Amino acid sequence: MKSHSEQDGGNGPAKGLDAGGVAIVAVTREVPGSLAIHVPGVRVELRPGPLERMTRAALLEHVRGAHVIVSMFSDRVDAEMLDAAGPQLRGVCNLAVGFENIDLKECARRGVAVSNTPNAVTEGTADLAWMLILAVARRLIEGDEFARSGAWERHGPLSMSQFLGLDLTGRTLLIVGAGRIGYATALRSLGWGMQVLYTARSRHWEFELAPLAARRVELDEGLRAADVVSIHTPLTDQTRHLIGERELSLLKPTAILVNTSRGPVVDEDALVRALEAKQLWGAGLDVFEHEPRVHEGLRRMKNVVMMPHVGSAATKYRAMMTEMVSENASAMLAGREPPNRVV
């Protein structure tokens, strides 16, 4: 991570920062691109984070005295961390679209602003969702292993009945969670002429108008009809284990389940049992219930394609996230409203 320290003229520093003083920005992990934080009249000192995750004790020491914390979705930002930072802390910039890792009520109580990085993750995560869909449908893991291991050479030419996968043309896609990423994922289905269904607490006209012409359904109806289920809902108390044993039992045996939102939305124990019972064709997962630990049952299944929570991990999109964090942190330190404020 490159760092910039800037001292500009302008409207002067925010309240609580002396002109010519130092504002400390503690970054919990290495970020892609360059954090460029500009505050009029104040020198910004970046405290960069390591590539590897710090221990909790080291992390608490790392944020001590910070005016802004740049956190990752895997960092627990709670009263303990806020206490460690100190009363001068004025903001937490989460390098993620989700923010369930942050105690929002505690931040609000202390007057600590919180921001995220929406939009920047949309296209990359939608691309990854479709990579998982196609990989599961066409048995990518099995085929790659067969070709890479030398088994193909030993076996000889394949028969026409080997490695048969699923076609997607004209099938039904269910989007669970009608936000930006869900919409971008649905748009990509037009290339396969798929019918799109979606679930949401209220109607989303952008889904129902052209070009998608999607239909809003209750979750159970959508699960019964879907050939592909793609999950894009945020993690809340209401969505934890939204997809469990009962919901999985509604799927067709040829259905594909993809999750690029948050791991605990799916009950992994129930998913493993459903896959073992061949209640669905396969699953594509970028997120896990207890990540970075992956369920042993999922690890041994060849009809499960897994990625290590890298939905936005394309150079362009991660650089955009870093730029958004820079803008949010600059605003917090200058006493302005952050562009992507959550609380």
- The one-letter amino acid code at 299 reads R
Backbone angles phi, psi at 98, to 5 degrees: -80, 160
Q: What is the DSSP string of 157-177?
A: SPPTTTT-----TT-EEEEES
* Tokens matching residue 76: 């627990």
- DSSP annotation of 124 reads H
* Tokens matching residue 291: 């990540």
Closest CA to 267 of 301, 299, 284, 290: 290
* Tokens matching residue 185: 């994922």
Q: How far is CA 6 from CA 29, 99, 190, 315, in A?
A: 21, 28, 46, 25
Any idea which residues carry the catalytic annotation?
262, 291, 309
Torsional sign, CA 120, 123, 129, 132: negative
